[in-house]
């Protein structure tokens, strides 16, 4: 899952940086979101993998503080980038003539409800659950599952949700791999 997260997000960064057609604010924010997701996941998952492999859950005080600071930093940055992306899309789509017909209030409310239930319940629900449940009871298995959900699964799904279903990103990746393939055969 960690490799899928890193590779998926790196593909988005690569596609955006290599295709001049994608040098727009929307894709700029998407590539930054991908970078933040890589950083967010990389603050906890490598240590978690070492802990699983060595069966040792020890962490130094300085390591814990550092990991906490970077997790909070990249978590907040992720939230801010999502807000900026929402504002960017709002500005980009608020002027077309048929916008009010397509995006009627019922559809907007439904999309909002689905959004809150699903990138919020999955992320905040599991993270809040981990910290609240650890104060009441200590069930390490349920805490570990919830921790994996918000620290690995959410960043892993972001490339698929935001970009890899996007035709422009797919086209840019195809062009990149075709160019990389032809350059590789020429040399």
Q: Indicate the number of domains in the chain.
A: 1
- What angle, rounded to 10 degrees, do the helices at 126-136 and 140-148 form? 160
Structural domain of 90: 2-186
pTM of this prediction exceeds 0.75 = no
> pLDDT in tens for each of the 187 residues of the chain?
889 889 989 999 998 898 888 887 778 878 888 988 999 999 988 988 898 899 888 888 888 888 888 888 888 788 888 877 787 777 777 766 655 555 556 765 676 566 656 665 666 666 666 666 655 555 666 666 766 676 777 778 777 777 666 788 888 888 888 887 777 665 5
pLDDT of residue 6: 92
pLDDT of residue 30: 86
Distances (CA, A) of 145 to 4, 51, 137, 139, 149: 18, 15, 15, 10, 6
The domain spanning residue 149 has which CATH number?
1.20.1070.10
pLDDT of residue 65: 87
H helices of 55-102, in order, are: 61-93, 99-102
Distances (CA, A) of 1 to 9, 45, 59, 106, 157: 12, 10, 23, 36, 10
pLDDT of residue 25: 79
pLDDT of residue 128: 67
pLDDT of residue 13: 92
pLDDT of residue 26: 77
The dihedral through the CA atoms of 113, 114, 119, 123 has a sign that is: positive
pLDDT of residue 150: 67
pLDDT of residue 110: 73
């Amino acid at each position: 899952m960690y490799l899928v997260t890193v590779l998926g997000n790196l593909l988005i960064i690569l596609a955006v940086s290599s295709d001049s057609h994608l040098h727009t604010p929307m894709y700029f924010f998407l590539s930054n979101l991908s970078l933040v997701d890589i950083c967010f996941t990389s603050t906890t998952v490598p240590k978690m993998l070492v802990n699983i492999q060595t069966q040792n859950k020890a962490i130094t005080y300085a390591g814990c503080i550092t990991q906490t600071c970077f997790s909070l930093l990249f978590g907040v940055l992720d939230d801010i980038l999502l807000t900026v992306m929402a504002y960017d899309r709002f500005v980009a789509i608020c002027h077309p003539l048929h916008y009010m017909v397509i995006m009627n209030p019922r559809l907007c409310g439904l999309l909002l409800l689905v959004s809150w239930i699903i990138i919020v319940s999955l992320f905040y629900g599991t993270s809040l659950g981990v910290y609240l449940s650890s104060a009441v009871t200590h069930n390490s298995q349920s805490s570990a599952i919830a921790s994996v959900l918000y620290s690995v699964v959410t960043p892993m799904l972001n490339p698929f949700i935001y970009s890899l279903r996007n035709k422009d990103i797919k086209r840019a990746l195809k062009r990149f791999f075709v160019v990389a393939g032809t350059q590789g055969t020429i040399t």
